[in-house]
Amino acid sequence: MSEWQPKILAILCNWCSYAGADLAGVSRMQYPPNIRVVRVPCSGRVDPLFIMKSLQSGFDGVLISGCHPGDCHYISGNYVARRKFAVLKPLLEFIGIEPDRVQFSWISAGEGERFATVVTKVTEDIRKLGPSTKLVKKL
């Protein structure tokens, strides 16, 4: 059998991180093929429930990425998102999800290279943690 590959959901905002991913692609940068991308209008659109639902649905990890603070297309969406994620973090801890499974990063449209680096790091972090089965089996 081939080696286990983590499956990671990447929720990217339309204006920065998705464009960053695009740039990484057209620049032919290499990064692990483990992410599945969902494009959202803004990181502020991400209900923390999406993240937990993804883990429950069998994803081994989730990466959420939006514009850098201060650069939001909608001015403040990512600031509000940051607060929602701040609330989610202790909760994930409370339910015993390893902090590295859910990661946040700010990536601009021009940062194709940063996108590739982040995805590589997140994939490696989650590979180390192994498959996420807890929520899948029991919730």
Residue 1 is a binding residue for another protein (CB under 8 A): no
List the one residue out of 124, 7, 104 whose CA is nearest residue 54. 7
Residue 16 is a binding residue for another protein (CB under 8 A): no
List the Cα angle 124/33/118 in 5-degree steps.
45
Residue 74 is a binding residue for another protein (CB under 8 A): no
Q: Round to whole Å and give the CA distance between 83 and 58.
A: 26
* Nearest-approach distance from CB 28 to another protein, in angstroms: 26
- For 49, residues 6+ apart whose C-beta sits below 8 A from its C-beta are none
Residue 96 is a binding residue for another protein (CB under 8 A): yes
Nearer to another protein, 32 or 48 (CB): 48
Query: With contact defined as beta carbons under 8 Å apart, do 98 and 129 qualify?
Result: yes
Nearer to another protein, 28 or 138 (CB): 138
Region from 25-33, 34-42, 64-72, 108-116 binding another protein, contact rule CB under 8 A: 64-72
Among 54, 105, 108, 123, binds another protein (CB under 8 A): 105
